[in-house]
Amino acid sequence: MTIARLDLLNGPCPSTPKFVNTTLDFNNFDYQPTDQNLTLFYDCPSEVSGLDGAKNFSCGLDNTANYFVNESFTGIDELFEKCHRHIRVPVLGSTALINESLGLQKVLNQGFDVDYHNSWAITCLGCEDSGGTCGFNSSSHPFVCLCRDGDRQPLFCSKHTRTKNIKLIVGLAGLGLGVLLTCITICWLRRKRSITSIQFFMKKTKNELDLEAFIRNYGPLALTRYKFSDIKKFTNSFKVKLGQGGYGAVYKGELLNGHLVAVKVLNASKGNGDEFINEVASISRTSHVNIVALLGFCLEGQKRALIYEFMPNGSLEKFIHSGNIETTIPLLGLEKLFQIAIGIARGLEYLHRGCNTRILHFDIKPHNILLDEDFLPKISDFGLAKLSPRNESNISMAVARGTIGYIAPEVFNRNFGGVSHKSDVYSYGMMILEMVGGRKNIDVGISNTSEIYFPHWIYKRLEQHNDLGFPDNMTIEENAMVRKMILVGLWCIQTNPFDRPSMSKVIEMLEGNIEALQIPPKPFLSSPPRSLGEESSTTC
């Protein structure tokens, strides 16, 4: 069927309480492949008026600009950053911004296509096998099992209901018919065993059903769903392995259109699909030049894979962990290294402030920063991410998560403060100290009492104005870049989360005047024990 938003039928400018994205009851409906998202931006500043491809519309207010674009619009990041409000509305892909003769209102009024589906096939089998009839109740639970005695059960008719039926049959047949009673008892036992088998099957597949329900609720329209046979085909049976992580391996692939991709195949034995859910839930909400793009996914029972844009220069880790400053900096060049630090900061600022829901990454480290052909950095691997309302400062967390050497103190010990977006700031600070120092902040070969040694060393040298060991031929501008990265890194790793700057402030510090930066207080540096909980992505 085709449906449209009622609040947009008379104009593309809803009242303030209704600036919300289109939502569906995914228990009953799915989007059609012919649908695509149209994004409407409201109350935009005048400086974005020159964006090619952005169509403007009026809400009858002076001194405001409003635009609508489709998901492939290249300047959508600027609109997300500068416009005060936006909503996403599905429309028919054949009409959205393609037919110039159709105005915005006609496109909205034409609506979009949906399919009605029944996701209760297994549950229905269990209901019928227990002697009931499958039903639907829209006012309470979407599925009900209608039993013969008039009862309505959530899944299947109870043992009590079946017993009453058996007693009725026995009463009608007569207590003296022992043979008939024996037959009824045998049938009852077989039926009970059949229901037990169905319950076991339902329990066994509950995780798969939960993942499917999640995809229906949160899967974005722009993502393509692939079969596992397709994954094997465009990775050439997983011939080229790009890397290995705690939750699976990454392989190089090529789509039918020749587009290169990176395919992350998740381990079936790891968790209950949390990695898969975290990746799709968080990264599908993003659209930023410094965030890696998720192009598609595969979900076939225990077989799960995520398809990302291919980053030809791999991870930042291989460029900065040479163990020697004099050989690390020439690999990228100090100017490029500095721009990479700023790009990562912009990506994190977007996750913390640019989305309707704040996204906390919890695993910022060089290994999870990918570089494209122009060495533009992109944040990847959202397997440990958590979503948080933007108006909530702290979040709850059952166990610590992250990688040893980058985890903020409050993540593994609440005595240091609450867990918040400032925990990502700490990880970022540790990472840029590694970038400028050319070696890891933590050495697994030394004792726990002095694990994080490089920040201590560099702070002492900075405080005493001693030589930091950088090349002698650096220019004044390069020296300023190095000092900025060091000072910003030390501010970011302050023990008290409140003393750390926000990512917006970090960008301001990196792009501002070096003379405005002060040496921060010396942080009490520490890291969690090596036996940190299950959610750590690595322990070394």
Q: Is 218 inside a domain boundary? A: no
- The number of domains in the chain is 4
Top pLDDT among 219 and 90 is at 90
Condensed to tens digits (0 to 9), the pLDDT of residues 488-500 reads 999 999 989 999 9
Strands of the sheet containing 35-44, edge to edge, are 55-57, 65-70, 35-44, 85-92
Same domain, 188 and 109: no
**Average per-residue pLDDT for the chain:** 75
User: Of the spans 80-89, 194-203, 435-444, which averages the highest pLDDT?
Assistant: 80-89
Same domain, 347 and 297: no
Same domain, 295 and 385: no
- Report yes or no: 366 and 432 within 8 Å, Cβ to Cβ: no
pLDDT of residue 476: 85
Distance CA 114, CA 225 (A): 17
- Report yes or no: 264 and 292 within 8 Å, Cβ to Cβ: no
Least confident piece of the model among 92-106, 263-277, 343-357: 92-106
Percentage of the chain beyond pLDDT 90 is 18
- Report yes or no: 7 and 13 within 8 Å, Cβ to Cβ: no
Same domain, 466 and 336: yes
Q: Is 511 inside a domain boundary? A: yes
- Report yes or no: 393 and 418 within 8 Å, Cβ to Cβ: yes
Q: Is 211 inside a domain boundary? A: no
pLDDT higher than threshold 80 for residue 196: no
The whole-number average pLDDT for the span 30-49 is 77
Same domain, 294 and 351: no
Same domain, 374 and 506: yes
The whole-number average pLDDT for the span 284-292 is 84
Report DSSP letters for 127-192, one per residue: HHHTT-EEE--TTS-S-EEE-TTS-EESSS--HHHHHHHHHHHHHHH-TT-HHHHHHHHHHHHHHH
Q: Is 213 inside a domain boundary? A: no
pLDDT higher than threshold 80 for residue 90: yes
Give the 3-state secondary structure of 141-159.
CCCEEECCCCCEECCCCCH
Distance CA 319, CA 489 (A): 19
Condensed to tens digits (0 to 9), the pLDDT of residues 292-336 reads 988 888 888 788 888 999 999 999 988 886 554 444 555 678 889
Q: Is 241 inside a domain boundary? A: yes
Same domain, 275 and 360: no
Domain boundaries, position 373:
317-538
Domain endpoint, select from 309, 340, 374: 309
What is the separation of C-alpha 221 from the centre of its chain, rounded to a whole number of angstroms? 15
pLDDT higher than threshold 50 for residue 277: yes
Q: Residue 222: pLDDT band by 50, 70, 90 thresholds? A: low
Same domain, 287 and 160: no
Tokens 């600022």 belong to: 349
- Report the CATH number at residue 469: 1.10.510.10
Tokens 């799709």 belong to: 280
pLDDT of residue 446: 41
Nearest CA to 237 among 263, 273, 258, 267? 263
Question: DSSP assignment, residue 41?
Answer: E
pLDDT of residue 257: 82
What is the separation of C-alpha 522 from the centre of its chain, rounded to a whole number of angstroms? 34
- Report yes or no: 296 and 305 within 8 Å, Cβ to Cβ: no
Least confident piece of the model among 223-232, 283-292, 383-392, 498-507: 383-392
Residue 426 CB partners (closer than 8 Å, separation 6+): 406, 407, 408, 409, 492, 493, 497, 500
Q: Is 466 inside a domain boundary? A: yes
Percentage of the chain beyond pLDDT 70 is 65
pLDDT of residue 258: 85
User: Of the spans 91-100, 175-184, 355-364, 395-404, which averages the highest pLDDT?
Assistant: 355-364
- Report the CATH number at residue 250: 3.30.200.20
Q: Is 212 inside a domain boundary? A: no
Domain endpoint, select from 116, 147, 180: 116
- Report yes or no: 468 and 481 within 8 Å, Cβ to Cβ: no
Least confident piece of the model among 4-13, 64-73, 268-277, 430-439: 268-277
The whole-number average pLDDT for the span 233-239 is 91
Strands of the sheet containing 133-135, edge to edge, are 133-135, 144-146, 152-153
Classify 375 in phi/psi space as left (phi over 0), alpha (psi -120 to 50) or beta. Answer: left
Q: Is 238 inside a domain boundary? A: yes
Q: Residue 463: pLDDT band by 50, 70, 90 thresholds? A: low
Kindly report the pTM of this predicted structure: 0.58
Top pLDDT among 36 and 189 is at 36
Q: Given the residues 35, 363, 381, 424, select the one marked as catalytic.
A: 363
Same domain, 144 and 291: no
Burial class (CB in 10 A: 0-12, 13-18, 19+), 345: buried
Rg of the chain over Cα atoms, rounded to whole angstroms, equals 29
Distance CA 79, CA 51 (A): 9
Q: Residue 448: pLDDT band by 50, 70, 90 thresholds? A: very low
Same domain, 17 and 97: yes
pLDDT higher than threshold 90 for residue 375: yes
Top pLDDT among 370 and 216 is at 370
Same domain, 392 and 493: yes
Least confident piece of the model among 48-62, 80-94, 369-383: 48-62
Top pLDDT among 79 and 156 is at 79
The CA-atom distances, in angstroms, between 510 and each of 436, 493, 502 are 13, 16, 12
363 carries an active-site annotation: yes
Q: Residue 471: pLDDT band by 50, 70, 90 thresholds? A: low
Least confident piece of the model among 172-176, 221-225, 320-324: 172-176
- Report yes or no: 168 and 184 within 8 Å, Cβ to Cβ: no
pLDDT of residue 457: 72
Question: Is 460 marked as binding a ligand?
Answer: no
Same domain, 178 and 49: no
Domain endpoint, select from 116, 140, 167: 116
Distance CA 96, CA 230 (A): 29
Distance CA 38, CA 340 (A): 32
